[in-house]
Amino acid sequence: MYLCANYNDINMSSKVRVRFAPSPTGPLHIGGVRTALYNYLFAKKHGGDFLLRIEDTDQTRFVQGAEKYIVEALAWCGISPDEGIGGEDRGNGPYRQSERKPMYREYAEQLLAADKAYIAFDTAEELDAMRQMAKDAGASNWQYNYITRGNMKNSLTLPKEEVDAKIAAGEPYVVRIKLPRDHEVRLEDTIRGWVSVNTNNMDDKVLFKADGMPTYHLANIVDDHLMGITHVIRGEEWLPSAPLHVMLYEAFGWECPTFAHLPLLLKPDGPGKLSKRDGDRLGFPVFPIDWKNDETGETASGYREFGFFPGAFINMLALLGWNPGTEQEVFDLQGLVDAFDLSKVSKSGAKFDFEKGKWFNQLYLRDLSEVELAQELKNVLDNEGLSYNEAHLGTIATMMSERATFPKDLLEEGRFLFETPSVYDEKTRNKKWSDASAPMMQDIAHRFNALPDFTSEAIEASFKGYLAEKELGFGKVGPSFRLAVTGRGMGPSMFTICAVLGKDEVLARISKAIKVLG
Ligand code: GLU
């Protein structure tokens, strides 16, 4: 039996070192961001190191720009690697597997010399033929294993001279792991508990390919070992590979890291993994930032460009699959570090909930200071090329933040402050605008014009003075006044709005309204 127990206590006595090891095959899915986040939180919680390594051994799946995207997305989230790509080189580099290429062969040789691996010459066609034969005989799951390898073209079946001759002649070959027969491989996963597989049900996986590159399995284990990784925290889709990895550690005679396989992110409205298609169908992004593949033109939208604050995005992600064991839901990054505990990560998949993400964003938005809100609004206005008086942005943004979830809402809710109304709310117009309205607006404009200081207090006093003088209730004048100045039926205090707009603009809007509404 091969055991890979959860050496938590042992490993914790040495410095915790974890890694996020994405393959640059496209934009990073939010599930990947969550994996990076949990690694980061775990490292920081235990005073350890978080590494970023790029696993680009599969040249056929390499996508230009994907690595840059990963680095930028993590930086936006505030998840900064201590070491590796985007972090320091602490003598364990290079941190891109393609640049480590020459090193892997040596490890494959080491396993060959120890009889833990063998060379195989079977071509893709020959392997397909074997699979087909097995299928025809009723066995759908053909494996290259301790039984079948005896009938294949490899260094276990061919005489040594023939193997050497083939290699000398440049015939392509791969290196496969030589799994022993009928051994129980048991590994203790921090999240899932004990996982057990018999080697009879495992494949002699390829470790080293004919193109001179290692496979993911070999490169991953060699690098985790050389980089001193103590805990491997990764997505559930890698759990089936974990027994093979345990066998590789065993074959090299290296100590296993502690494994933790994270639950999947599930669709919000049904079974299965959350995919890009779900996002497109339901109208939300499944990537952290916008993506564009320059070669294919393929694009995908991201949380950043949607208007999410990184803090809100991270807060939402952290709670998908982990809970602090308390009622607390709102955490900043440091708060997450303090509260994070791998043993509180759930085994079952986490249903994605975009509405909850919006709720977090709203909280984060409302928590901004007036200066920060003003800056958010300024960015939106600049983007749209709208002009504004900088002095009022803080007041406007604060006023609008009550109704906003995203920075863009600060403008949407208050667009009437930056654009003279061209349409007037139909309902208010029918109910509140009467023949008496135009003369009333004239009077108000007249009074406003005489105000030396156009402050909200002065405007309020003037407006109320007018009501008192004419013995009019607020309901008789207020709604039509709002309609004339903003085009709307509802909104924040009209006195603040008028002060923000300034006298000239208010007077101009009133006279325009009189013309349009009659
Ligand atoms: N390169 C693998 C991936 O793309 C890494 C899996 C692991 O963390 O071991 O997810």
How many C-beta neighbours within 10 Å does residue 423 have? 9
pLDDT above 70: percentage of residues in the chain:
98
- Residue type (1 letter), 407: P
* Test site for ligand 1: of 223, 231, 238, most ligand atoms within 8 A of the Cβ: 238
Rounded average pLDDT over 119-126: 97
pLDDT above 90: percentage of residues in the chain:
93
Rounded average pLDDT over 87-111: 96
Rounded average pLDDT over 13-37: 95
Rounded Cα distance, 65 and 74, in Å: 14
Q: Does 426-517 carry CATH code 1.10.10.350?
A: yes
235-239 long-range Cβ contacts below 8 angstroms, 24+ apart: 235/31, 235/32, 235/35, 235/261, 235/262, 235/264, 236/261, 236/262, 236/263, 236/264, 237/264, 239/189, 239/192, 239/195
- pLDDT above 50: residue 10: no
Check pocket membership of 21 for ligand 1, CB cut-off 6 A: yes
The ligand 1 atom at the shortest distance from the C-alpha of residue 19 is: 8
pLDDT of residue 290: 97
pLDDT of residue 12: 61
Contacts with 209 (C-beta within 8 Å, 6 or more apart), sequence order: 174, 215
207 in helix, strand or coil?
strand
Catalytic residues: 276
What pTM was computed for the model? 0.91
20 in helix, strand or coil?
strand
* Test site for ligand 1: of 234, 241, 264, most ligand atoms within 8 A of the Cβ: 234
Q: Which protein residue's CA is at the shortest distance from atom 3 of ligand 1?
A: 22
* pLDDT tens-digit map of 414-435: 899 999 999 999 999 999 999 9
Tokens of 206: 């390829």
How many C-beta neighbours within 10 Å does residue 434 have? 10
* Residue 13: pLDDT band with limits 50, 70, 90: low
pLDDT of residue 7: 53
* pLDDT tens-digit map of 165-192: 999 999 999 999 999 999 999 999 999 9
Q: Where in the chain is the domain with CATH 1.10.1160.10?
A: 267-363
Pairing of strands 206-208, 174-177: antiparallel
In sequence order, what DSSP letters do the residues of 298-318 get, joined into one string? Answer: -EE-BHHHHT--HHHHHHHHH
Q: Where are the alpha helices (DSSP H) in 385-455?
A: 393-401, 407-412, 426-432, 437-449
Please, which residues bridge with residue 119 across strands?
175
Check pocket membership of 57 for ligand 1, CB cut-off 6 A: no
Check pocket membership of 509 for ligand 1, CB cut-off 6 A: no
Rounded average pLDDT over 428-455: 96
Sole residue written with tokens 């949380």: 303
Q: What is the CA radius of gyration of the chain?
A: 33
Check pocket membership of 220 for ligand 1, CB cut-off 6 A: yes
Sole residue written with tokens 């640059």: 24
Rounded average pLDDT over 222-228: 98
* pLDDT tens-digit map of 277-304: 999 999 999 999 999 999 999 999 999 9
Q: Where in the chain is the domain with CATH 1.10.10.350?
A: 426-517
The ligand 1 atom at the shortest distance from the C-alpha of residue 25 is: 4
In CATH, the number for domain 267-363 is 1.10.1160.10
- pLDDT above 80: residue 6: no
Residue 414, CB-side half-sphere exposure with 13 Å CA sphere: 35
- pLDDT above 70: residue 494: yes
CA dihedral 224, 230, 234, 236 (to 10 degrees): 110
Please, which residues bridge with residue 198 across strands?
184
pLDDT of residue 14: 86
Specify whether the CB–CB gap between 399 and 496 falls below 8 A: yes
SS3 of the chain: helix, strand, coil, percent, to 5: 50, 10, 35
Residue 30, CB-side half-sphere exposure with 13 Å CA sphere: 37
Check pocket membership of 22 for ligand 1, CB cut-off 6 A: yes
Tokens of 282: 């339901």
pLDDT of residue 4: 77
* pLDDT tens-digit map of 463-477: 999 999 999 999 999
Rounded Cα distance, 448 and 444, in Å: 6
